[in-house]
Amino acid sequence: MELVRRLFANWPLKLTSVLLALLLWVIATLEEPVTRRVRGRIELDPPADRSVTLSVATVSVQLTAPAREFLKLGTRAVTLAKAVLDSTEGEHTVSLSPADVIMPRGVTARALDVQPSEVSYTLEARNGAELRSRSWHGVPVAVPGPTEVRWLAVPDTVTVIARATTARLATLDLDSLIVIARPDTITGAASLRVIAPVGIATEVRPQVIRLQPRHP
């Protein structure tokens, strides 16, 4: 009986200690760096008078980040944004690298590898279907760059005007639009470029924003 009394003595304090230890273990586990492959969605930005058809729509991207960041990412895909400069119709190939990877808003991770690193696509003239327009407000601005250099966009959200056929606009949502800032560290300004799904023409307002260094 004495052993039982000692075992259950101050049981609320003992239970609290166990729960705190468990909580600290969970926090430490979430902070551990993890390397994992996730799905990457390819978004090519062709010239305004061209449309692009990809041979594959997604690739495999290897990321490294604390485990908590993968919990934030969930089943969402990361985006690989690439501009198509050649306007010649026909089949082409495009190289993909970790520098092309853009993470969803709120997720911080570093891309290590993209497989396959090269995909093919077909460039064609846009058809003459009647186009409609729709405005999206509050689209976040992404500032790509080396991990050690971070910039804050001012403002950090902009307005995007999308133009496409009625059927294509019906499939568009805010997560499908990515606005990329190209930093100029000398002037502190940045021009903006919109990456949108195939068949969507876009315009961003304002077209130029200000950048300021992100302090630790």
The pLDDT of residue 39: 93
Whether the model clears a pTM of 0.95, i.e. scores above it, the answer is no
Q: How far apart are CA 158 and CA 172, in angstroms?
A: 17
Using CA atoms, how far apart are residues 168 and 165, in angstroms rounded to an integer?
Answer: 5
Each residue of 104-136: pLDDT tens digit?
Answer: 878 888 899 999 999 999 888 776 556 788 888
Structure-token match 């969930």, residue found: 74
> What are the tens digits of pLDDT across the range 101-111?
988 878 888 89
CA–CA separation, 107 and 112 (whole Å): 16
14 has a pLDDT exceeding 70: no
Distance, in Å, from the CA atom of 188 to the CA atom of 175, rounded to the nearest integer, reads 27
Please state whether 90 falls in left (phi above 0), alpha (psi between -120 and 50) or beta.
Answer: left
**DSSP code, position 116:** S
- Summarize pLDDT for 171-193 with one digit per residue, the tens: 788 888 889 888 776 777 888 98
Strands 118-125 and 157-164: unpaired
